Amino acid sequence: MGAGFFKGQTFRIHLLTIFLSILFIICGALVTINVYMGRDAAITVAERHMGTAIESISERTQGLFREIQTFVRTASAMRALSMPPGVDGHVMLPMLLEAIHSLNDVDGMFIGYADGSFLHLVDLADAPAWRERLQAPAEASLAVRTILTDENGKRISRWTFFNADERFVADGPTEEASYDPRGRPWYKAALDVDGLAWSAPYVFATTGQVGLTVSRLVEGGGAVIGVDITLDQLSQFLGQQKISRSSVAAIFNRSGNLLVHPQLKDFTFSNIQTPYGQSTAIIIADNDDHLMKSVYDLNRENGWIKSPSYAFSVDGENYIGSSLPLPSEIGNGMVLTISAPISEITANVDKITRVTLFFSLLIVLVSIPLVAYVARSVSQSLTALAAEAERLPLMDNSAPARVSSRIREIGKLAEALATSKAALNTFGRYVPKSLVRKIVQSGEEPVLGGERRMATFLFTDIEGFTTISEEIRPEELIERLSRYFSHISHVIHDNGGTINKYIGDAVMAMWNAPELCDNHAAAACRAALQARDIVERFNHDLIAAGEPPFRTRFGVHCGDVVVGHIGDNDHIEYTALGDAVNVSARLEGLNKTYGTTILVSEAVVAELGDEFETRFVAAVAPKGRAAEVRVYELVSARSVVASVSMGAAV
């Protein structure tokens, strides 16, 4: 439409065109922010949750294997175990009974000897299949099988049963033994390997559970000790780590064998020939799981390195994933992965986009006749309403401009614009609205890069939050956590700080970025003290209502960091990078060690002067940092500090 179109047109046409353009800008801004920022925010949150889940799985997996590895290494160093058992048992049997009674996720423990003797221990407490097969007495909790060669050269097998106190209960029947440990893969592998020998996962014949075997040559030779590890509990734990409805966590090794998966029994086991005989394994390439094949291929192509986040596509479905190679001493090159469909992660955002688009178009349609009528008699209100529309992309949640007019329709148009603003502000709850507004007001151009700046950082964390989250329903937890965050965020904002991110139940706030802040260290300390007090009152109400309190720890540190925008061309995030950020987080964690609530660094104390009362605690080297930091407890403010009431925070 050229400029000549407007020549000779009435003012009504001009106003109608302008008003419709404003409304379309509102719709475009609303939908654009929804699509780009909403999806990126949802994926960012999912990636954060994915990182938390993968670390949790890693800790659980390493804990399981390290416990058993430690036992096998320790036991293999006992020369007494290299002596075969006798008719009366084995001199080390009490130690072995105590060990299998205390180990978790173990199907059995055994020792094979060069003369063909065999010692096999089973914990019957949680093994109904073993109890049924052995027809164990009701009071039996432990079973021991001994295979010996009698004076006639015949191999004899006998089961002996013990109770939970490891006292003898009864002997089972004696029978001729066909089992010879010297021919088993776990025995042969331990003889050839300098250290621990690991098998591929297979189905245990007695229990039907999926597991693997770790074995090692006993010092002095002549014997191999082994442990059967069940993977069912670990597989169930992986199934509980959900990023979305269809997300999948799994563990495989670099040889392409699937080790742990929530539906491990749904995969096909293949017979494989090893240097030690016939065995079984779940070979990813031989199964029809395209997701596992893609994840394995990606990790192999990337050289098995840690990948916090990567995107890929399987059968037309886009996924995000994360991978973490487990330490080399855990298994045979194990890699932990978790993947989730992007469509599920952004489902809520896409729904909001459709609703927003519908209401935006509805507003446009409703406003057309209203604007046409108002345009005939009104022009002076146009400037005020246009200015209001220009503030919408900035997500300004201030009260709408008051437009005075004797014409009722002008008021309706103002109400329609206010409705659009309310809808946009509602969406703004899903993005860091205050941070966007501050960046715009500071005049910084949102481009990739940053600048060095002295800044102060505050980290908070709720003591025992994992336990609290297990004790109450998720709906109640979210409601209480929202009230808790509301109190803390008001205190931080009132003291000139910016909340950079919420990390689960933790808050990371910073001062002197993106906006400059005089005495930013003091402002952060005031915020910490006020937050401590308001959380105490909040906890008092929780305790009075019979609810668990949110006891909060704080860490404050200042130093030079690089602040600015990081990301890519599609998504930019304003954040801070540097040692000061990590130190403030470590200080928060040290509260648990020293029984304090607020810990600040020497750098912060140097900036405070005499305004605050502090107490020296210790000089420590925080985790991941070589240099020591002198740590102080922030006790109170010596000067008169305005108190923050619960009402003001709400």
What domains does the chain contain, in order, with CATH numbers?
A: 8-43+348-430 (no CATH), 69-229 (3.30.450.20), 232-345 (3.30.450.20), 447-649 (3.30.70.1230)
User: Residue 427 and residue 120: Cα distance in Å, rounded?
Assistant: 63
Asked if 340 and 319 touch (Cβ cutoff 8 Å), the reply is yes
Q: SS3 letters for 387-434?
A: HHHHHHHHCCCCCCCCCCCCCHHHHHHHHHHHHHHHHHHHHHHHCCHH
Q: Is the dihedral of CA 385, 389, 390, 392 positive or negative?
A: positive
**Burial (CB count within 10 angstroms: exposed 0-12, middle 13-18, buried 19+), residue 411:** middle
Give residue 21's pLDDT: 72
What tokens were used for 534? 């308001």
Asked if 484 and 536 touch (Cβ cutoff 8 Å), the reply is no
- Return phi, psi of residue 524, to 5°: -65, -40
Q: Rounded to the nearest 5 degrees, what angle is found at the Cα of 59, between the Cα atoms of 54 and 63?
A: 145
User: Residue 301 and residue 296: Cα distance in Å, rounded?
Assistant: 9
Asked if 361 and 442 touch (Cβ cutoff 8 Å), the reply is no
User: Residue 455 and residue 597: Cα distance in Å, rounded?
Assistant: 22
Give residue 305's pLDDT: 77
- Own/partner pairs for 79-84, CB < 8 Å, 24+ apart? 79/218, 79/219, 79/220, 81/111, 81/218, 81/223, 81/225, 82/218, 82/219, 82/220, 82/221, 82/222, 82/223, 83/223, 84/113, 84/115, 84/117, 84/148, 84/222, 84/223
Asked if 190 and 76 touch (Cβ cutoff 8 Å), the reply is no
Q: Is the dihedral of CA 530, 535, 541, 544 positive or negative?
A: negative
What tokens were used for 251? 């563990």
Asked if 241 and 271 touch (Cβ cutoff 8 Å), the reply is no
Q: Is the dihedral of CA 158, 159, 165, 167 positive or negative?
A: negative
Asked if 283 and 257 touch (Cβ cutoff 8 Å), the reply is yes
- Own/partner pairs for 479-482, CB < 8 Å, 24+ apart? 480/542, 480/547, 480/550, 481/505, 481/550
**Burial (CB count within 10 angstroms: exposed 0-12, middle 13-18, buried 19+), residue 5:** exposed
- Return phi, psi of residue 115, to 5°: -90, 5
10-residue averages of pLDDT along the chain (650 residues): 54 66 69 64 72 81 84 92 88 90 89 94 88 90 91 89 91 90 90 86 78 90 91 82 84 83 80 62 83 88 81 89 80 81 77 68 72 62 61 59 62 66 54 54 65 95 91 90 94 92 93 90 97 96 92 96 84 85 94 95 92 94 83 84 38
* Helix or strand holding residue 337 (H, E): strand 334-341
User: Residue 344 and residue 495: Cα distance in Å, rounded?
Assistant: 38
- Return phi, psi of residue 227, to 5°: -135, 130
User: Residue 548 and residue 470: Cα distance in Å, rounded?
Assistant: 11
Query: Of 59, 109, 112, 105, which Cα lies nearest the Cα of 84?
Result: 112
* Residue ranges of E strands in 1-90: none
Q: How many CA atoms lie within 13 A of 191 on its CB side?
A: 17
Asked if 551 and 435 touch (Cβ cutoff 8 Å), the reply is no
Q: Is the dihedral of CA 627, 628, 630, 633 positive or negative?
A: positive
Helix-strand-coil split of the chain, %, nearest 5: 45, 25, 30
| pTM of the complete model | 0.47
| Residue 250: strand pairing partners | 337
114 Cα distance to chain centroid: 48
Contacts of 234 (CB under 8 A, 6+ apart): 60, 61, 64, 105, 251, 260
Query: Of 155, 154, 160, which Cα lies nearest the Cα of 93?
Result: 160
Query: Of 260, 254, 250, which Cα lies nearest the Cα of 229?
Result: 260
Question: Residue with structure tokens 């810990």?
Answer: 599
User: Residue 98 and residue 121: Cα distance in Å, rounded?
Assistant: 11
Asked if 5 and 361 touch (Cβ cutoff 8 Å), the reply is no
The bridge status of strand 552-567 relative to strand 598-601 is: parallel
CA distances from 630 to 55, 318, 604, 620, 621 (A): 30, 48, 10, 6, 9
* Helix or strand holding residue 519 (H, E): none
Helix (H, G, I), strand (E, B) or coil at 209: coil
Amino acid at 159: W
Give residue 642's pLDDT: 40
